[in-house]
Amino acid sequence: MQVLNVGFFHFGSTSDANKVDFDENNPKEQEEIRELSILLAKFKPTIICLEYLPEIDAEINKVYQEFLKNPSELNTQYGELSMVGFDVAEMSGLNKVYGIDNHMGYNYSVGNFIENSPELTNTIDPATYLEITNNPLKAYPEIENRNNNFDNLSLLEKLALINEPIMLDYSLNANTDKLFYVGIDDNFIGADHAALFYRRNIKIYSKLNRIKMNKNDRVLILMGSAHMAMLREFIMRSPKFEMVNSLDYLK
């Protein structure tokens, strides 16, 4: 079955390390969301998976049913989940959406904490950690220039950039993989926190596979870019799924 993964930044409040300046109530930005939804609906999804816990599925879908009564007005209650997810689901004639998120605590910033603590020393590879932290796109000047101009891009241009393969790799590096180069003495504090993020995404992928599907289903997944980057790796190797190029639907 075909799967279209689209990595997002979060529209509303977020605990993510990086927050994008985006006003979901701005009429111009709502117009851009509608244009985006039309493009994604061209995939003709039969199943839409979003970044919320399955435990609140009834709550989310109750709000979705209310949205269906007046789909001309975007629902901003759940950020991109309701603004884009609900919109594409309605355009696709779907009667529900699915949550596949899994929550797990981990520390994105343990490496920064060590670097900023004079009494602590990263004894694994601080040079590589700092290179990834301070110059993550040094080898890709065209991508780096676009990323430096991120706030001036349209919504579609932002998402197209986020979903570039190089940017998805960068997202994994920035969120987890740089922690492989962090430790104190002979411990694995960096790797331990990175493993929690991997574990969280493995469980997200497992939740995706709990959804009953058949070979004719077309699955659209909308999640934060770091989750999407990791799911991409699992899905590409799976005999069950056929990966669709997200960039084909972001132009």
The residue to which tokens 């493995």 are assigned: 202
In three-state secondary structure terms, 165 is helix
Share of the chain above pLDDT 90, in %: 88
Sorted by where each begins, the domain ranges of the chain are: 1-251
pLDDT at 29: 87
Q: Which residue from 84, 67, 77, 82 is spatially nearest to 32, judged by alpha carbons? A: 84
Residue 25 main-chain phi, psi, to 5 deg: -95, -5
Is residue 27 very low, low, confident or very high in pLDDT (cuts 50, 70, 90)?
A: confident
Buried b (16+ CB within 10 A) or exposed e, 169-206: ebbbbbbbbbbbbbbbeeeebbbebbeebbebbeebbe
Model's pTM, two decimal places?
A: 0.91
pLDDT digits (tens, 9 = 90+) for 214-251: 999 999 999 999 999 999 999 999 999 999 999 999 99
Contacts of 149 (CB under 8 A, 6+ apart): none
